[in-house]
Amino acid sequence: MSDVMEQSGVPADSDTAAKSTGAAGEPEPGTGTAEPMAAARIAEIRVRIDEIDRTLIELWQERAALSREVGATRMASGGTRLVLAREQEILERFRIALGADGTQLALLLLRAGRGPL
């Protein structure tokens, strides 16, 4: 369930938001535009965004599980809980690709896999 609401008060992921038509000159609910062609295009784009979001969530969960497995395997063999050089490598990779937001994203990914420090 989404907590995101459009300015119209309709949930952002609501089917109604994508399919309803507003009165002449009024924005389509959930799209923020009164232009039908633009509203239809926004609805199309949002379908793809939702697909990407589902994939990102699945990948996030898979990555976190794999990271936890790496940590458990390392500790079971007498290794350290963390390998800071590896974390720095990941942080740098995301920073180069995505800038400052990439660093924040990488920190969240690392935390999901190893827990808070």
Per-residue pLDDT band for 2 (boundaries 50, 70, 90) equals: very low
Q: Provide the number of structural domains found in the chain.
A: 2
pTM for the whole structure: 0.71
Q: Are residues 56 and 104 in the same domain?
A: no
Per-residue pLDDT band for 16 (boundaries 50, 70, 90) equals: very low
Q: Are residues 70 and 86 in the same domain?
A: no
In which domain, by residue range, is 97 found?
Answer: 82-117
Taking all residues of the chain, what is their mean pLDDT, rounded to a whole number? 85
Q: Are residues 24 and 75 in the same domain?
A: yes
Q: Are residues 43 and 73 in the same domain?
A: yes
Q: List Cα–Cα distances, 114 to 29, 39, 86, in angstroms.
A: 42, 42, 12
Phi/psi region, residue 11 (left: phi>0; alpha: psi -120 to 50; beta: rest), is beta
What sign for the dihedral angle of Cα 59, 61, 64, 65? negative
What sign for the dihedral angle of Cα 67, 70, 76, 77? negative
Q: Are residues 55 and 6 in the same domain?
A: yes
Q: Are residues 19 and 65 in the same domain?
A: yes
Q: Are residues 93 and 64 in the same domain?
A: no
Per-residue pLDDT band for 26 (boundaries 50, 70, 90) equals: confident
40 pLDDT above the threshold of 90? yes
109 pLDDT above the threshold of 50? yes
Q: Are residues 9 and 45 in the same domain?
A: yes
Q: Are residues 40 and 91 in the same domain?
A: no
Per-residue pLDDT band for 27 (boundaries 50, 70, 90) equals: confident
Q: Are residues 72 and 42 in the same domain?
A: yes
Q: Are residues 34 and 47 in the same domain?
A: yes
Do 84 and 78 form a contact (C-beta atoms < 8 A)?
Answer: no
Q: Are residues 94 and 70 in the same domain?
A: no
Phi/psi region, residue 84 (left: phi>0; alpha: psi -120 to 50; beta: rest), is alpha
3-state secondary structure of 22: coil
